[in-house]
Structure formats: structure tokens, C-alpha cells
Amino acid sequence: MIEWVPATGERAAELFAACPDYFQRLHGHGYSQEDVRDFLEGKPPEVAEKHTWMARLEGQIIGAVDFLRDYPEPGTVYVGLLMVREDRQREGLGARLFEQLEILSQGERFRLAVLEHNAPALAFWQRVGFVPTGELKPYRQHQVVLLQKS
């Protein structure tokens, strides 16, 4: 059974080290302490609270999620990151993590952004019911595709 535990810098670093492909797509190199800090603390100034959790299975950190409630509008959950260790992908764990977030969120709408060139992530989010909004936005040196699920 998946157990949710509070996110810490040590746990985030452990997971991020197991996801080099994601950070290569994002930065062109591995994760940094800035990535860990952003995961734990980064949020828009108008948002009061950011939720960050790590998923543990059989004693191993296998994933993480961070999300904001009522952002960018009331009744919307904005998923900043949902990540599964690369060596545990394709086991259905990402879908299970998102399903648990849906249950917790009790029918709220969801929005998120995916790097335009991250085809595996775009395919995953569409498999779990997200649709592109048609919006592209700049993010760092990339473009992100906005997706939503009602």
C-alpha cells in the first residue's frame, strides 16, 4: 500500500536523483538544490499554502506530488509536480498517486502545465483524463502546455 509521508529535502533529493531524465529535459543537467527548494517552498506569492508529499511503497520513496488549492481560481487544484522514480515508471504508480489526489480533492477541477517537449508526461496526463486547454506559456527556457480536468 502506498503511504504518504511529509516531503523533506532529503526525501526530495533521493527521488530527484532517481529521475535524471526529467531534469535533463528541464535543465539539460541533473537536479540541483534549487530544484529541491522550489519543490518544497516555491509558490506564487498570492497562494497561502503549498502542499508537498512524498509517496513511499515497501520502504522506498517512489514518488511525490505538490499542489496548490484554489489556484489559479477557487475550486481548482493546480498540480505543480507529480513524479514517479524512473525505475518504477510504467507500473501504474503515477495513475494511483493521481487517483489518491483526486479522492482527497473531492471533485475539484485540476490544472497543470507540462513541458511541451515532454511527450511521455503529456501522454500520461491525457491517459488519466486531462485535455489541453490550447494555451502555451513560457517556463524558464521552454514552453509549457496547459491541461485541465473537470
Predicted local distance difference test score (pLDDT) of residue 149: 97
Average pLDDT, the chain: 94
Taking only the tens place, the pLDDT of each residue in 63-118 is 999 999 999 999 999 999 999 999 999 999 999 999 999 998 887 899 999 999 89
Q: Is residue 116 part of a domain?
A: no
Q: Is residue 43 part of a domain?
A: yes
Q: Is residue 119 part of a domain?
A: no
Name the β-bridge partners of 112: 79, 147
- CATH number where 99 lies: 3.40.630.30
Q: Is residue 35 part of a domain?
A: yes
Domain carrying residue 98: 3-108
Q: What is the spatial distance between Cα 95 and Cα 115, in angstroms, rounded to a whole number?
A: 19
pTM for the structure as a whole: 0.92
Question: Do 65 and 16 touch, CB atoms closer than 8 A?
Answer: no
Provide the domain count of the chain.
1
